[in-house]
Structure 1
Amino acid sequence: MLFSKNSLSRILPAFVSFSILLYSCNSNNSSEQTSEQSAPKLVKSAEFNADSAFQFVQKQVDFGPRVPNTLAHKACKDYLVASLKKYGFQVTEQDFTATTFDNKSLNATNIIGSFNPSAAKRILLTSHWDSRPFSDQDSIVKDKPVIAANDGASGVGILLEVARTISAQSAKPDIGVDIIFFDAEDWGSSGEDTTLEYSGYCLGSKHWAENKHVPNYTAYFGVLLDMAGAKGATFFKEGYSVQLADDVVRTVWTTASKLGYSNYFIDERGGSITDDHLPVNQKAHIPMIDIIHTRPNNLSKTFFDQWHTSHDTMDNIDPKTLKAVGQTLVQVLYQEAAGEAL
């Protein structure tokens, strides 16, 4: 094709402009592709079995209320220790004596299981395993101990299944995992007694934070589970967790979202709850968050309906909720082991 001098003078600037635009678009596409390629993605992880977790919760409930100084408490302790050992965890029983807000003396035990104990990078997963000795939120029966299917056993059941899951894999995550079942968490004052540290709750976690099972022990971060198994549970971003370990909150909630569990892990900040993660943050100086069932917009009840009542039974435990929490934790472990934290 032949161009006259005048037509070429008109076409050339347009061609140059188009070339610059094309280069710019290609550069942007390349930049976006590089960004997408470098962004952390979900790695392949082990499958968390919700039915198995449900059975772990059921087994604890079958012992009866796990109130310190009772036979059920002792029997459940032996079961938890044996279970962790069965899944290849190195177990430490941290016995201690705790004094409650009403001056009772408790024979208590923090149960600590360590997976891959020589690994430098460690993740700490915790829940309390004791039951509240009275149903103070019950409308009728207030003096009986709580069976504590959700407020205690659900978190422990999830963590036992996490232990079983990672131990059963031929390719285990290259990371250290410490599971602690805190004792004597739930014998606190029914009111907000400001003269008592943590209102008399969190006796086991406080003891561990001040007397770590390994001198100078630390962890990359920690996650506490509390009331983690009820039907239709909602886990808002607990206030102290956001304040003290916001990066961990974002990691866990982002992971849950990518797995499709946003209906459980609500992307909104909730209230600040006094729980076992506070001593770990404040005394052990390990950033720990709390995955806890709350309803911040409910003026009549902050927690699930059966909280601290005689109705906290297996009827309220949902394998779907156990799955959402447990699979999220397993995925977080595998992401950390692969250096692909979300």
Structure 2
Amino acid sequence: MTNFRFLLLLLGTVFILLSCDGGEEDRLNFEDQGREVPEFNADSAYHFIERQLDFGPRNPNSKGHQQAKNFFLNTLQQYAGTRYVYSQDFTAEGYDGDTLALSNIIASFNPQSSDRIMLCAHWDTRPRADQDSVNKDKPILGADDGASGVGVLLEFARLFEGNPPPIGVDIVLFDGEDYGHEGDLSKYFLGSRHWAENPPVDGYSPRFSILLDMVGGENARFPKEGYSMQFAPALVNEVWAIADEKGFDELFISQKGNKISDDHVVVNRILGIPTIDIIRHEVGEKGAEFAPYWHTHNDDLSIISKKTLNGVGETVLELIYNRVNVSD
């Protein structure tokens, strides 16, 4: 608790300062800064995914869920320091009247900076394989749907330790994103909703936020998700332009995607933080179409591609280190 109070005091000052910065156009204005960008290590990101799967399914109230939480806290404290990592614990009601013990994990890098961005992913896994043909009531491993976004962010954290980013970066791992039954959005996005309604720092207002969801599967394609284009088109276009420059145009395809309900919609609508979602999907006439392993027991380590992880990691790192205008 002492460490968290210290973080609140420091970041509270930071966000008061941030509110005096330039307008929305300045906050989402990008250009090549000529800065050095650390090399993304896809092997390391893959290893972080593998470690998560070692705990088994990470659905709320499971043994794997608690083990994963401890792993995230220990790993992020190693890279950010114990003062700058916080577990936002809360509860929610489950379908059977049980109480779900949930935790959002927050880590801050370059905490002295008055200029910040946010990176996020969900770390829980689905408690049921409702899209499978067998064992539909059993939880899934969630290699792509959950672990891949977290794996990329943990690799970023590892890099941030030795290569401090030019801007403040807050990593937020949301819990309870994938708990709900299909069609019942009230039980999805439990962590992001709690975080947005109870922000650890009043007035939290980073320049922008990027959500990573299902960013590690083989043969992935990321069209420009519809809500992202509505909330922060300049950020979307910059990310996709970087990917094109780096030769990842077959991954980040120049196509308008479907509107997908995800954590970024909650963050945008409650806090007004311009947030985009890099999420694998194919554009369908009746809605987004996801990978064949989505919400099945086939979402395991065998479908993870280091090539996909590398494309996402290199693109986002270029944005963070070399495209964001940062005042001295």
Same fold (TM over 0.5): yes
Higher CA-based Rg: 1
- Once residues 195 and 57 of structure 2 are traced to their aligned partners in structure 1, the CA distance between those partners, rounded to angstroms, is 23
Offset of residue 203 of structure 1: 0.6
- Once residues 207 and 153 of structure 1 are traced to their aligned partners in structure 2, the CA distance between those partners, rounded to angstroms, is 21
Maintained 8 Å contact 1:173/1:337:
no
What is the DSSP-based 3-state SS (H/G/I as helix, E as strand, rest coil) of the residue aligned with 2:148?
helix
- Once residues 258 and 81 of structure 1 are traced to their aligned partners in structure 2, the CA distance between those partners, rounded to angstroms, is 35
| Structure 1 residues not aligned, in runs of 5+ | 1-37
* 1:61 partner amino acid: L
Alignment of 1:158 with 2:145, yes or no, is: no
Cα 1:270–1:42 change in 2 (3 A) is farther
Task: Return 95-104 or 250-259, whichever deviates more.
Answer: 95-104
Q: 1:293 aligns with which of 280, 296, 303?
A: 280
* Alignment correspondent of 2:169: 177
* Alignment correspondent of 1:8: none
* Alignment correspondent of 1:139: 133
Cα 1:297–1:279 change in 2 (3 A) is closer
Alignment of 1:309 with 2:293, yes or no, is: no
Alignment of 1:58 with 2:50, yes or no, is: yes
Offset of residue 71 of structure 1: 1.6
Q: 2:260 aligns with which of 259, 270, 273?
A: 273
* Alignment correspondent of 2:9: none
* 1:201 partner amino acid: Y
CA deviation map 1:273-331 (0-9, x unaligned): 01000110000110100000001148797111100001100000001101111111111
Cα 1:125–1:301 change in 2 (3 A) is closer
The share of aligned pairs that are identical, in percent, is 46
* Alignment correspondent of 1:224: 211
* Alignment correspondent of 2:122: 128
Offset of residue 104 of structure 1: 3.8
* Alignment correspondent of 1:45: 37
What is the DSSP-based 3-state SS (H/G/I as helix, E as strand, rest coil) of the residue aligned with 2:80?
coil
* Alignment correspondent of 2:63: 71
* Alignment correspondent of 2:308: 321
**1:87-106 pair list within 5 angstroms:** 87-89=79-81, 90-100=84-94, 103-106=97-100
- Once residues 123 and 45 of structure 1 are traced to their aligned partners in structure 2, the CA distance between those partners, rounded to angstroms, is 17
Cα 1:259–1:339 change in 2 (3 A) is farther
Maintained 8 Å contact 2:33/2:325:
no
Alignment of 1:83 with 2:70, yes or no, is: no
* Alignment correspondent of 1:6: none
* Alignment correspondent of 1:110: 104
- Once residues 306 and 174 of structure 2 are traced to their aligned partners in structure 1, the CA distance between those partners, rounded to angstroms, is 23
Maintained 8 Å contact 2:125/2:139:
yes
* 1:319 partner amino acid: K
| Structure 2 residues not aligned, in runs of 5+ | 1-29
* 1:312 partner amino acid: D
**1:204-223 pair list within 5 angstroms:** 204-223=191-210
Offset of residue 337 of structure 1: 4.8
Maintained 8 Å contact 1:98/1:184:
no
Task: Return 97-106 or 254-263, whichever deviates more.
Answer: 97-106
- How many pairs were matched up? 296
- Once residues 39 and 147 of structure 1 are traced to their aligned partners in structure 2, the CA distance between those partners, rounded to angstroms, is 39
* Alignment correspondent of 1:24: none
Cα 1:42–1:306 change in 2 (3 A) is farther
What is the DSSP-based 3-state SS (H/G/I as helix, E as strand, rest coil) of the residue aligned with 1:236?
coil
CA deviation map 1:29-81 (0-9, x unaligned): xxxxxxxxx96466431100000000000000000000111121111101001
